[in-house]
Amino acid sequence: MAERLPEVQWTQREDLAALVAALGADNLRWVGGAVRDTLLGLPVKDIDAATPLRPEQVVERCAAAGIKTVPTGIAHGTITTLPGGGPVEVTTLRHDVSSDGRRATVAFASDWREDAARRDFTINALYADPNSLELFDYFGGLQDLEARCVRFIGDPDERIREDHLRILRYYRFQARFGSDLDEPAENACARLAPTMKGLSRERVAMELLAILALPDPAPTIARMQARGVLPVILPETGTSQIAALERLIACECEHDTTGTAIVRLAALLPAADSIAESVAARLRLSRQQRGLLMCLAERRESDGDAPKALAYEHGRDCASGRLLLMGGDPHAIAHWEIPQLPLKGGEIVAHGVTGADVSRLLRQVEARWIAEDFPDRARVLNLLETALAERA
Q: What is the pLDDT of residues 6-64, one digit of tens each?
A: 999 999 999 999 999 999 999 999 999 999 999 999 999 999 999 999 999 999 999 99
Residues 171, 228 contacting (CB under 8 angstroms): no
Average pLDDT of span 57-79: 92
| pLDDT for residue 50 | 97
CB count, 10 Å around CB of 80?
16
* Residue 208 pLDDT > 70: yes
| pLDDT for residue 391 | 82
Average pLDDT of span 92-107: 68
| pLDDT for residue 107 | 83
Q: What single string gives the DSSP state of each residue in 302-359?
A: GGGG-HHHHHHHH-HHHHHHHHHHTT--THHHHS------S--HHHHHTTT--THHHH
* Burial (0-12, 13-18, 19+ Cβ within 10 Å), 139: buried
Roughly how many angstroms between the first and final C-alpha of the chain, as a whole number? 83
Nearest CA to 121 out of 139, 103, 102, 98 is that of 139
Helix (H) or strand (E) segment spanning residue 392: none
| pLDDT for residue 362 | 96
The two beta strands, 88-92 and 47-51, are parallel
Separation between Cα atoms, residue 144 and residue 387, nearest integer Å: 71
* H helix intervals, 182-272: 183-191, 201-212, 218-226, 230-233, 239-254, 261-267
Q: What is the pLDDT of residues 111-132, one digit of tens each?
A: 999 999 999 999 999 999 999 9
* Residue 291 pLDDT > 70: yes
Nearest CA to 350 out of 339, 362, 368 is that of 362
Residues 104, 96 contacting (CB under 8 angstroms): yes
Q: What is the pLDDT of residues 142-180, one digit of tens each?
A: 999 999 999 999 999 999 999 999 999 999 999 999 888
The three-class DSSP label of residue 178 is coil
| pLDDT for residue 100 | 52
Length of the chain as a residue count: 392
Residues 148, 201 contacting (CB under 8 angstroms): no
Q: What is the pLDDT of residues 248-282, one digit of tens each?
A: 999 999 999 999 999 999 999 999 999 999 999 99
* Torsion angle, alpha carbons of 231, 215, 203, 266, to 10: -50
Separation between Cα atoms, residue 173 and residue 36, nearest integer Å: 12
| pLDDT for residue 122 | 97
* Residue 73 pLDDT > 70: yes
Residues 192, 157 contacting (CB under 8 angstroms): yes
Residues 6+ apart with CB under 8 A from 23: 51, 53, 58, 61, 62, 90
Domains and CATH numbers, the chain: 1-147 (3.30.460.10), 345-391 (no CATH)
Separation between Cα atoms, residue 274 and residue 262, nearest integer Å: 16
* Residue 2 pLDDT > 90: no
Separation between Cα atoms, residue 322 and residue 306, nearest integer Å: 12
The three-class DSSP label of residue 104 is strand
Q: What is the mean pLDDT of the chain?
A: 94
* Residue 1 pLDDT > 60: no
Nearest CA to 236 out of 176, 161, 195, 293 is that of 293
| pLDDT for residue 179 | 81
**Is the dihedral angle over the CA atoms 293, 297, 301, 305 positive or is it negative?**
negative
Nearest CA to 317 out of 124, 247, 325, 222 is that of 325
Separation between Cα atoms, residue 71 and residue 77, nearest integer Å: 9
Residue 98 binned pLDDT confidence (cut-offs 50, 70, 90):
low
| pLDDT for residue 209 | 98
- What global pTM score does this model have? 0.89
